[in-house]
Amino acid sequence: MAKVIGIDLGTTNSCVAVMEGGKPKVIENAEGARTTPSIVAFAKDGERLIGQPAKRQAVTNPDNTIFAVKRLIGRRFDDPVTKKDTELVPYAIARGPNGDAWVNAGGKDYSPSQISAFTLQKMKETAESYLGETVTQAVITVPAYFNDAQRQATKDAGQIAGLEVLRIINEPTAAALAYGLEKQDGKTIAVYDLGGGTFDISILEIGDGVFEVKATNGDTFLGGEDFDNKIVDFLASGFQKDEGIDLTKDKLALQRLKEAAEKAKIELSSAQSTEVNLPFITADQNGPKHLVKTITRADLERLVEDLIQRTLEPCKKALADAGMKADEIADVVLVGGMTRMPRVREVVKNFFGKDPHTGVNPDEVVAMGAAIQAGVLQGDVKDVLLLDVTPLSLGIETLGGIMTKMIDRNTTIPTKKSQVYSTADDNQNAVTIRVFQGEREMAQDNKLLGQFDLVGIPPAPRGVPQIEVTFDIDANGIVNVSAKDKGTGKEQQIRIQASGGLSDNDIDQMVRDAEKFAEEDKKRRAEAEAKNNAESLIHTTERQLADNGDKIDASLKSEIEAAIAETKTAVEGGNPDTMNEKAQALAQVAMKMGQAIYEKQQQGEASPAADAGQAKQDDVVDAEFSEVDDTK
């Protein structure tokens, strides 16, 4: 039975794991790393780069290097969060055909789901390389506070990548699974998850294999990227003050600043100070300019203190929703790379009144939890029951623009609820059901998930028709809504798609595009391997010919030189089949050269003893007969 993999699709880095011998195992990628940067780039020649290769060239190709796309997934172009992101990234954010936020790279527009799918493909290939078999099913994690549109867009990304997404699971819940798999004693824990782009807090009760989420809260636009941006602003403003040049207007300089900021942030978790040194960052009429700045841990803490404090309000709300006080939490589990920062740990300790648990790797624990859930769904992991919740309330717009809630936040999922409504006007023959997600009293202040019409209602006075609206949230947290006229039995049903979400046709087209990219990648890899093999063989054969040309006859030497020339021509042509064919032919004639050299050597060894004296003078093997004087 094919394995189901667990994927942590992160803002900054992604990770893949699988159950092996009853335990989750994180799989290393082709570069030997256990996490892969969630970065996709399009090179000038059209080549698509994913992960570390994409990150390496980001400074020289900022316009076409897409990072932190998770912050845009499932968002509208007009969303204030999107507008904020537009000012922070060097690549272009465009309005998609459906009003969603898309990105532009390599002269083409891509949906965030497509870009995420490229990263998921890399995770899929990493798992397949390790397992030695095709992988078609996965459990993918999302921030607990993701709304329906963001969850659906993540599921779409999996589909585009060629994966059947068996379950969308919340990141803090996944972390709790990995933390508590072998713990049988009942306790209440908090999972504090501060990652690259999002923040989540979840309160869970765990024990005897049951993991029940009591409450969750968070901020889907708060994470390590924001910490980096604070350092970038600090460096850029200082440089502008000293030199009068705004580095944020230069995309190449901005990308170098971002990389330096991330590096400095990481170093300051273990060091008290670090130096940012960026030579030739820019130039003016007086010549090149260099940026050299020492940043202390105190500087960093002062810059980001407001961001760290922003994590506490969701913590207070989650505790209130769970009906608990901070001192009733038995353990605080830290997740996400930003929780390595000493000041973050200090704030968490002060808030909860106890040292946070640091026994899990914050970069890998979410993928491990996803792998455990994959094992549960596959039947490999027994006696584990996961009870998650919906993070935001769901409801419909009723008369006066009021948000009438049907399912409250932190309701255990899957769940289903029905309620009967009626018409607002006499003889009304149709109603529009507008579905919202959020906590505000007025519908327009919440997130519109979608809308649909129920038509063909028989004429009747207002308030008489009975329209039953049913909300159904599946285990992925994805919403289905139906409306039924109880008088006629007519029913209209939709899977909520964000009003700008991808249609099935869009997804099918993107799947084909992804497959085409995969084919192109295979072709490029085949070309590179054939070229490397051919060039290596040419080099080796030329060296052997130079060393041993006098030991073979002229006709064989000419044959080898001709084969080398043909292989060089094939390399210039770039066709992998031709390169392999010519390289094979060259290997055959190179073998003839080896045989000829050995035959000549054997003939020399078999020559009359009279010639041996001369041979001894010429042959290095003579050293074997020297004596060692032990008395020296």
Domain check: are 420 and 488 in the same one? yes
**For range 376-399, the mean pLDDT:** 88
Domain check: are 134 and 250 in the same one? no
70, 230, 258, 484: the catalytic one is 70
Domain check: are 13 and 89 in the same one? yes
**How far is residue 338 from each of residues 199, 254, 307, 347, measured CA to CA in Å?**
10, 22, 11, 13
Query: Is 8 tagged catalytic?
Result: yes
What pLDDT does 68 receive?
95
8, 225, 331, 363: the catalytic one is 8
193, 200, 212, 388: the catalytic one is 193
CA distance 8 to 31: 18
Domain check: are 205 and 252 in the same one? no
Residues 395 and 404 sit within 8 Å (Cβ to Cβ): yes
Note down the domain range covering 589.
Answer: 514-604
CATH number, domain with residue 481: 2.60.34.10
Residues 528, 529, 531, 535, Cα dihedral to 10°: 130
| pLDDT, tens digit (0-9, with 9 covering 90-100), for 415-454 | 999 999 998 889 998 888 899 999 988 998 888 888 888 8
Domain check: are 482 and 598 in the same one? no
Look at residues 271, 306, 341 and tell me which one is the last residue of a structural domain.
306
CA atoms within 13 A on the CB side of 476: 23
Question: If pLDDT is split at 50, 70 and 90, which confidence band does 626 have?
Answer: very low
List the structure tokens of 400. 């006066």
Bigger pLDDT: 609 vs 108: 108
CA distance 115 to 41: 9
Q: What is the DSSP letter of 28?
A: P
| Residue 576 pLDDT > 50 | yes
| Residue 596 pLDDT > 90 | no
Phi and psi, residue 33, nearest 5°: -100, 150
Find the farthest-apart pair of alpha carbons in the chain and give their distance in angstroms, rounded.
127
| pLDDT, tens digit (0-9, with 9 covering 90-100), for 52-71 | 999 999 999 999 999 999 99
What pLDDT does 605 receive?
62
Using DSSP, state whether 60 is helix, strand or coil.
Answer: coil
Residues 162 and 511 sit within 8 Å (Cβ to Cβ): yes
Strands 479-485 and 467-473 turn out to be antiparallel
| Residue 520 pLDDT > 50 | yes
In a domain, 120, yes or no: yes
85, 171, 331, 485: the catalytic one is 171
Query: Is 70 tagged catalytic?
Result: yes
Question: If pLDDT is split at 50, 70 and 90, which confidence band does 610 have?
Answer: very low
Helix (H) / strand (E) element for 280: namely strand 273-284
Strands 101-105 and 92-95 turn out to be antiparallel
Residues 588, 593, 599, 605, Cα dihedral to 10°: -140
**For range 453-476, the mean pLDDT:** 90
| Residue 281 pLDDT > 50 | yes
Predicted model pTM? 0.77
What pLDDT does 612 receive?
47
CA distance 190 to 192: 6
Look at residues 389, 411, 431 and tell me which one is the last residue of a structural domain.
389
Q: What is the C-alpha end-to-end distance of the chain, expressed in Å?
A: 71
What pLDDT does 495 receive?
61
What pLDDT does 547 receive?
82
Query: Could you check whether the bond before residue 172 is cis, i.e. omega within 30 degrees of 0?
Result: no
Amino acid symbol at 256: R
Number of structural domains (the chain) is 4
CA distance 147 to 143: 9
| pLDDT, tens digit (0-9, with 9 covering 90-100), for 81-109 | 899 888 889 999 999 988 999 999 988 99
CATH number, domain with residue 238: 3.90.640.10
All residues at 6 or more sequence positions from 606 whose CB lies less than 8 Å from its CB, including other chains: none
Domain check: are 288 and 323 in the same one? no
Question: If pLDDT is split at 50, 70 and 90, which confidence band does 499 have?
Answer: very low
Lateral strand order in the sheet of 412-413: 331-335, 187-194, 199-207, 210-219, 385-389, 412-413
Q: Tell the residue number behind the tokens 């803490």, with chain if given.
A: 301
Domain check: are 495 and 582 in the same one? no
In a domain, 541, yes or no: yes
Residues 477 and 486 sit within 8 Å (Cβ to Cβ): no
Domain check: are 41 and 137 in the same one? yes
CA distance 364 to 387: 22
Domain check: are 101 and 49 in the same one? yes
In a domain, 8, yes or no: yes
354: nearest Cα among 335, 373, 384, 334: 334
